[in-house]
Amino acid sequence: MKELNLSAEVIYDKVFSSDFKGYSASEVDSFLDQCLEDYQTFEENQKELEDKIVELNQALQEAQNEILELKGKQKAFDLSSTTSYSSVDLLKRISRLEEEVFRK
């Protein structure tokens, strides 16, 4: 982000020198040019920050969606693992089935 040249205090406290028709026109014009430049910089900075907010909100939404997806997968895994058998249990069942089949 670009830095501003003027602050609210500097603008408020600005004193122009007097000319025979009032304030010095060149001094006022120069100061107004600085104000305009700072205002343009301010608008650019604001636009950058607004774009960054949109970008961060999109990243946040993507992360939240990923979390929900992972939680869903975790629940599915938890449900399947509670009903699944260990390898030892399966081998024991196969062994018992073989005994029944081959005994006959």
pLDDT at 93 exceeding the cut of 90: no
Phi and psi dihedrals of 3, rounded to 5? -90, 145
pTM listed for this prediction: 0.53
Provide the b/e sequence for 10-23 (b: ≥16 CB within 10 Å).
Answer: eeeeeeeeeeeeee
Mean pLDDT of 12-30: 80
Q: What is the distance of C-alpha 48 from the center of its chain?
A: 13
Domain ranges across the chain: 8-103
Mean pLDDT of 29-45: 87
Q: Which two tokens stand for residue 54?
A: 């949109």
Phi and psi dihedrals of 19, rounded to 5? -120, 180
Mean pLDDT of 71-91: 72
* Cα gap 104→15, rounded to integer Å: 112
